[in-house]
Each structure stands twice: as C-alpha cells, then as structure tokens.
Chains A and B, each alone.
Chain A
Amino acid sequence: MEQKYPIKKVNIICAKGAIEDVYATLLMGNGAVMEGIETNLFFTFFGLDAIIKSRMDKLHTAVVGNPALRLPGGLRMPTLLGIIPGMESFTSWMMKGGMAKLDIPPVSEFLDLITAGGGKVYACKLAMDMFKFKKEDLCEHVSGILTVGEFYEHAGGEGSHIIFT
C-alpha cells in the first residue's frame, strides 16, 4: 500500500526492566525491522537489565502493585498475595511459558533476530554509570553506549519517530 508519510525509522526507548516492558520494546523493534524500517533500541535505567548478559534472560514481572495481574481463571490477584515467597518467580515463569507457546523467543534470541536484520541496540551512558555497569557486562548485541545528545543524533532524519515504552 502506498503511504504518503511512511515511517522510515523508529527509535525506541526502554526505561523499565519488567518482562512486559522489555518485550514491548523488543516486539515493536523486531516488527519494525521486519517491515524494513531502520530501528534503534535505546536501553536506560532498569531497562538496561535486558542487555546485561547475566540478567537478560532472567527478567521478572511485578506481582505487587500490578492491578491488571490475574490468577489462572481470571480472578484479580490481590496485591498482598504478591509478597508470598516465590510468587514473583512463579508468575514470571508462567508469563514466559505463555510467550514461548506463541513462538516469542527469550530476550537474547530476540536480540539476535533484531540485530541480524540490521536493528541497532544502544545502552544509556548515564544509567550505566549510575548502576556501575561496565562495557563487559553488556551483551554482544550492543553497538555502543550513548549520551542523550548522541541518542538524538542517531534518531534524526525524515520520517523518524521516537517511542518511549
């Protein structure tokens, strides 16, 4: 279909590290790459966990203060139940199982697909300094560590969009 103002480039910022936050970024990013759209992913603050080698495939979802969380069967999960030891791990395990059934890959494999298609992955310099991460802590998919100014330089161009997940 001919579009008058096609999206030519997307720049997605991921600032949170829960499963659903990271996957929102990865799904939108991979979808863009598959459409032939130039794609930059920028991970900052807790979102950095998605590109830290030792953490990327061990993300969790919040079970306390997550009012949309339901028990199997559809009942709303009382937030206090979330403090039961193991509840967060169990819920995260359930989430990952559900995603695997839909052929959604683990974070590291998802980043393999995105970068194989030419998508670029960046880490935020300030957040790296703040959490005392070193370059060696980052996964192989990361093309560089950027300041905010450098991110905006990368994001420039006609038909370019910035998305904050």
Chain B
Amino acid sequence: MAQKTYAGKTVDVNEEGYFTNPSQWTKEIAAEIAKEEGIVLTDQHYAIIEFLRNRHNSGEALSIRSINHSGVIDVKTFYQLFPGAPLKKATKIAGIPKPASCI
C-alpha cells in the first residue's frame, strides 16, 4: 500500500491517491490535496466535503444526483467548485474512496 505525506502527516492511499483509511483525514490535509488538484478550498467546498464524508460514513452510495438533493449546493455549483471531474476530485479531497457509481 502506498503512503503520502500531507501537512506533516503520513496517510495510507491507493495507487490512484484515494485514502484507504478515511479516519486519517483532516481539514489541513484536504487543503493540501486540493492544492495538488489546483483548487483553493472555501467554506462552500468544506460544506460539500462534509456532506460527502457523512454520506460515506453512513454507508450510502455517492452519485452526482445525490449532490443535487444534498441541500448543500446544486450540481452546477459542484461542477464549478471542482472543475473537470467533480465527484472524483471531491472524494479524493474528502479522503474517502472513489465512488463506484455510474451516475
């Protein structure tokens, strides 16, 4: 298993850089991963990251539709906050596994 160091802490990641142990995640680590992806995190980013982590912790599947129904932000804003591949980037920054969903 690969390891990476963010904000002075060593964390376990898979070959694609996704956390294999979400409990190692902190907000400071998130900011550093985001920097790698070219994103500066704002309160809005943290709000959706918290939603993603909560949803992951409760064992629910993540989809782009669930973002729209999150009550946190709409999908359009989500695409603006994490340009390119939003769900992949956001879950990586949130320290949770890459979603296995097709939607």
Q: Using an 8 Å CB-CB cutoff, how does the interface string of A29-48 with B read, 1 for contact, 0 for none?
A: 01100111000000000000
Query: In the bound complex, do residue B75 and residue A112 qualify as a contact, i.e. CB atoms below 8 Å apart?
Result: yes
Among the stretches B4-12, B24-32, B43-51, B61-69, the one at the interface with A is B61-69
Among the stretches A58-66, A75-83, A113-121, the one at the interface with B is A113-121
Measured between beta carbons, the chain A residues less than 8 angstroms from B103 are 27, 30-31, 102-105
Partner of B65, one of A1, A35, A36, A105: A105
Which residues on B are within 8 Å of A, measured CB to CB? 16, 61, 63-66, 68, 74-76, 79, 83-88, 101-103
**Total residue contacts A-B, CB cutoff 8 A:** 45
Q: Can you name the residue of chain B whose Cβ is closest to the Cβ of A118?
A: B79
Query: In the bound complex, do residue B79 and residue A103 qualify as a contact, i.e. CB atoms below 8 Å apart?
Result: no
Q: Can you name the residue of chain A whose Cβ is closest to the Cβ of B67?
A: A113
Name the 6 nearest CB pairs between A and B, nearest first.
A36-B84, A116-B76, A116-B75, A36-B85, A117-B79, A103-B63
What distance in Å separates the Cβ of A126 from its nearest Cβ neighbour in chain B? Answer: 31
Measured between beta carbons, the chain B residues less than 8 angstroms from A31 are 102-103
Considering only CB atoms and an 8 Å cut-off, how many residues of chain A contact the other chain?
17
Measured between beta carbons, the chain A residues less than 8 angstroms from B87 are 34
What distance in Å separates the Cβ of A8 from its nearest Cβ neighbour in chain B? Answer: 12
Measured between beta carbons, the chain B residues less than 8 angstroms from A35 are 85, 88
Interchain residue pairs with CB less than 8 A apart (15): A30-B64, A30-B103, A31-B102, A34-B85, A35-B88, A36-B83, A103-B61, A103-B101, A104-B103, A105-B65, A109-B65, A112-B68, A113-B65, A113-B75, A116-B68
Measured between beta carbons, the chain A residues less than 8 angstroms from B88 are 34-35
Besides A34-B86, A117-B64, 20 other A-B contacts (C-beta < 8 A):
A1-B16, A27-B103, A30-B64, A31-B102, A31-B103, A34-B88, A35-B85, A35-B88, A36-B84, A36-B85, A103-B61, A103-B65, A103-B103, A105-B65, A113-B65, A116-B68, A116-B76, A117-B75, A117-B79, A117-B86
Measured between beta carbons, the chain A residues less than 8 angstroms from B63 are 103
What distance in Å separates the Cβ of B48 from its nearest Cβ neighbour in chain A? Answer: 14
